[in-house]
C-alpha cells in the first residue's frame, strides 16, 4: 500500500471512529466546547441578550426518540396587559452543522402565541430560542437535548416517492374552545411535502452525499395580511410541518406560499371555517 493509500485509510478510520463514537463521548466533547458566544456574534451581531424566561418558553424532549424528527414548541409567555409583542423568534441548535434552524416572523396583528415544528438534532446540544420584541430588545432561553445523527439520518421516503409528493400542501384547522372561537383564536397546521435534504445524507445506492435541497422560505397569510413567515435551514425535518396558534382577522381564505433552494415556488389557498371549529 502506498503512503497516500495509508494516509487515506487512516483518515477514513479516524472519521469512522468519530462518526460511531459512543453517545457519552459525544456528550463529553460537546460539553467541553460552547459555540454559543460565537453564534451570538455570527447570527445576532453580538447584540445584548436578556433573560427570556418571562417572554418565551421552549418545549423539547430531553432525549429524542428520533434525532431526525425532534418536536419543538415555542410559546409566548407575554401577559395580556404587556404592551410589547414578539416580532421574531430565531431557533438555534448550537451543535448542528448549520446551527440556525429557523427564523419565524410573526404577523403584527396575528398575535401568534405558539409555534410547533420538527427538527433534526445532530448531537447532544443546547438549543436556544431568541425572541426580538417590539421594544427592540433580544430575549433568550435555552434547553438541552440528547440526540445524535439527525442531520445525516437517511430519508424516510425513497427519492421517487419524495419527488412525487414534492410541493404538496395540506392545511388543517383545529377546534377551539368556545372562548377561543369567539375571540378569533385559531389553531392551524401547514404540512408541505418536501425531502428537505440536509446535504449530509448519503444515497444508499451510490454512496454519494445527496446535495442540500430544502424549503428556505414559507409565508402564511389571510387576505394578504401576514400571519407567520419562516426562513428555514437544513435542520427542519423532512416534510416540513408547522402548527401554530393565532388570532384570525376574519378572512375566508388562508394562503401558503413556499420556496425551496432550487427556486421552486409552491402556493395554495384554502377556505377557512369561520366558526373556528
pLDDT value of residue 24: 53
Q: How does residue 203 score in pLDDT terms, banded at 50, 70 and 90?
A: confident
pLDDT beyond 70 at 199? yes
> How far is the CA of 209 from the CAs of 21, 199, 235, in angstroms?
21, 7, 16
- Partners of 43 in beta bridges: none
In residues, how long is the chain? 277
pLDDT beyond 80 at 225? yes
Q: What does pLDDT average to over the chain? A: 88
> How far is the CA of 126 from the CAs of 32, 73, 187, 275, in angstroms?
12, 15, 28, 40
Instruction: Classify residue 239 by its DSSP letter.
Output: S
Q: What is the signed CA dihedral for 128, 188, 109, 79, rounded to 10 degrees?
A: -60
Higher pLDDT, 115 or 17: 115
* pLDDT tens for each residue of 118-173: 999 999 999 999 999 999 999 999 999 999 999 999 988 888 888 889 999 999 99
> How far is the CA of 202 from the CAs of 64, 139, 212, in angstroms?
22, 37, 11
Residue 129, Cβ density class (10 Å: 0-12 exposed, 13-18 middle, ≥19 buried)? buried
pLDDT beyond 50 at 6? no
Domains of the chain: 22-271 (2.60.40.2470)
pLDDT value of residue 96: 98
Please count the other Cβ atoms lying within 10 Å of the Cβ belonging to residue 96: 24
pLDDT beyond 70 at 29? no
CB-based contacts of 180, cutoff 8 Å, min separation 6: 186, 276
pLDDT value of residue 12: 38
pLDDT value of residue 181: 57
* pLDDT tens for each residue of 35-78: 999 999 999 999 999 999 999 999 999 999 999 999 999 999 99
Amino acid at each position: 500500500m502506498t503512503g497516500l493509500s495509508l494516509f487515506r485509510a487512516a483518515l477514513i478510520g479516524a472519521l469512522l471512529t468519530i462518526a460511531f463514537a459512543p453517545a457519552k463521548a459525544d456528550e463529553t466533547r460537546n460539553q467541553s466546547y460552547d459555540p454559543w458566544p460565537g453564534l451570538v456574534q455570527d447570527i445576532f451581531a453580538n447584540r445584548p441578550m436578556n433573560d427570556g424566561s418571562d417572554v418565551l418558553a421552549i418545549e423539547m424532549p430531553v432525549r429524542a426518540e428520533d434525532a431526525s424528527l425532534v418536536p419543538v414548541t415555542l410559546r409566548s409567555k407575554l401577559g395580556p396587559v404587556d404592551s410589547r409583542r414578539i416580532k421574531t423568534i430565531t431557533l438555534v441548535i448550537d451543535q448542528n452543522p448549520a446551527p440556525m434552524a429557523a427564523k419565524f416572523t410573526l404577523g403584527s396583528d396575528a398575535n401568534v402565541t405558539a409555534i410547533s415544528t420538527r427538527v433534526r438534532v445532530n448531537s447532544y446540544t443546547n438549543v436556544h430560542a431568541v425572541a426580538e420584541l417590539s421594544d427592540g430588545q433580544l430575549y433568550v432561553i435555552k434547553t438541552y437535548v440528547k440526540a445524535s445523527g439527525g442531520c445525516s439520518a437517511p430519508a424516510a421516503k425513497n427519492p421517487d416517492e419524495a419527488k412525487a409528493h414534492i410541493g404538496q400542501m395540506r392545511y388543517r384547522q383545529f377546534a377551539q374552545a368556545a372562548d377561543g372561537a369567539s375571540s378569533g383564536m385559531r389553531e392551524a397546521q401547514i404540512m408541505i411535502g418536501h425531502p428537505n435534504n440536509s446535504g449530509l445524507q448519503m444515497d444508499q445506492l451510490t454512496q454519494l452525499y445527496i446535495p442540500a435541497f430544502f424549503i428556505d422560505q414559507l409565508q402564511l397569510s389571510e387576505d394578504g395580511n401576514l400571519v407567520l413567515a419562516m426562513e428555514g435551514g437544513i435542520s427542519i425535518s423532512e416534510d416540513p410541518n408547522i402548527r401554530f396558534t393565532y388570532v384570525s382577522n376574519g378572512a375566508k381564505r388562508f394562503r401558503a406560499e413556499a420556496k425551496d433552494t432550487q427556486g421552486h415556488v409552491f402556493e395554495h389557498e384554502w377556505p377557512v371555517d369561520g366558526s373556528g371549529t
